[in-house]
């Protein structure tokens, strides 16, 4: 799928960061479009064949939340939010509005490219025909047809709710999911704030699938944001 030259829109008002990102993207044969303001970004999104947007939250004219809100009324394209360390709240807000992932400044070229690959792969999967019903991360395997979970050769007995959590994480493998998105998907809209229930569920699942639950290899915690299933594959 990387044979296409994907068009990436970089929305960033810091010239140096913008150049660094474009330099990195172009070295990987992506086509880079740039905007320094939200207004410019909206104009390019309407005019160019953009496949993915990298969005800085601190823009001079509008905040990133508003850009996502507007974009999501007409497009499902992957959006990776780029934020400074002190913008945790905003970061969670844009993820809840439908951004796909985030990068915290400063980030490396390899981190940037890895996040882009995950987001694009996820997009192709969604738009592709039938998704493979067997998901895998290292030794951990979930067979969605049989509704079973395996670690290496052994079957792991999980509760229906643990299964639902793991399936949700696998369907979004490599992407961060915010606590409120997970709560909404698993418990339903009414349980929006019960983060303790999610922590308990995650801890129980980790005890079953992680060698060292205190240092998880599969279900990774994104502090202040939510969880991410490791991207690691066989
Ligand atoms: Ca900025």
pLDDT at 201 over 80: yes
- Distance between CA atoms of 95 and 98, rounded to whole angstroms? 5
Question: 64: CA distance to ligand 1 center in Å?
Answer: 10
- Distance between CA atoms of 15 and 29, rounded to whole angstroms? 21
Structure tokens given for 220: 């990774």
Where do the DSSP E strands lie in 154-232?
154-156, 176-178, 219-222, 226-229
Question: 58: CA distance to ligand 1 center in Å?
Answer: 4
Write out pLDDT tens, residues 34-73.
Answer: 999 999 998 898 888 889 999 998 899 988 888 998 888 8
Question: 14: CA distance to ligand 1 center in Å?
Answer: 6
Question: 217: CA distance to ligand 1 center in Å?
Answer: 33
Helix (H) or strand (E) holding 49, with range, is: none
- Pick from 53-62, 84-93, 99-108, 140-149: least confident: 84-93
For residue 173, CA distances in Å to 11, 193, 195 come to: 25, 24, 21
- Kindly report the pTM of this predicted structure: 0.71
**Which of 23 and 134 is assigned the larger pLDDT?**
23
- Distance between CA atoms of 230 and 102, rounded to whole angstroms? 15
Q: Nearest-CA neighbor of 230 among 216, 215, 219, 214?
A: 219
Specify burial of residue 208 (Cβ count, 10 A radius: 0-12, 13-18, 19+): middle
Main-chain phi, psi angles of 52, to 5 degrees = -155, 145
Write out pLDDT tens, residues 133-189.
Answer: 889 999 999 998 888 999 999 999 998 889 989 999 998 889 899 998 898 888 876
Question: 65: CA distance to ligand 1 center in Å?
Answer: 13
- Distance between CA atoms of 133 and 144, rounded to whole angstroms? 5
Helix (H) or strand (E) holding 50, with range, is: none
Write down the pLDDT at residue 186: 84
Question: 59: CA distance to ligand 1 center in Å?
Answer: 5
Instruction: Please provide the average confidence, as pLDDT, over all residues in the chain.
Output: 88
Question: 229: CA distance to ligand 1 center in Å?
Answer: 29
Three-state SS for 225?
coil
Question: 106: CA distance to ligand 1 center in Å?
Answer: 12
Averaged pLDDT, 9-29: 95
Token pair 């939010």: residue:
81
Question: 82: CA distance to ligand 1 center in Å?
Answer: 9
Averaged pLDDT, 210-232: 93
């Amino acid at each position: 799928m990387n044979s296409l030259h994907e068009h990436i829109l970089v929305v960033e008002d810091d010239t140096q960061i913008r150049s660094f990102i474009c330099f990195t993207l172009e070295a990987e044969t992506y086509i880079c479009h740039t905007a320094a303001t939200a207004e410019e970004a909206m104009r390019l999104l309407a005019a160019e064949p953009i496949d993915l947007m990298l969005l800085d939250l601190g823009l001079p004219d509008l905040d990133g939340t508003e850009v996502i809100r507007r974009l999501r009324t007409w497009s499902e394209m992957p959006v990776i939010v780029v934020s400074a360390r002190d913008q945790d709240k905003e970061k969670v807000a844009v993820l809840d509005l439908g951004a796909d992932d985030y990068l915290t400044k400063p980030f490396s070229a390899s981190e940037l490219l890895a996040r882009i690959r995950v987001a694009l792969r996820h997009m192709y999967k969604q738009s592709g025909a039938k998704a493979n019903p067997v998901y895998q991360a290292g030794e951990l395997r979930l067979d969605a047809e049989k509704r079973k979970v395996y670690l290496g050769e052994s079957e792991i007995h999980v509760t229906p709710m643990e299964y639902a959590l793991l399936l949700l994480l696998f369907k979004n493998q490599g992407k961060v999911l915010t606590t409120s998105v997970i709560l909404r998907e698993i418990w339903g809209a009414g349980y929006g704030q019960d983060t303790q229930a999610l922590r308990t569920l995650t801890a129980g699942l980790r005890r079953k699938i992680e060698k060292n639950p205190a240092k998880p290899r599969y279900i990774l915690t994104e502090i202040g944001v939510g969880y991410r299933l490791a991207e690691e594959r066989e």
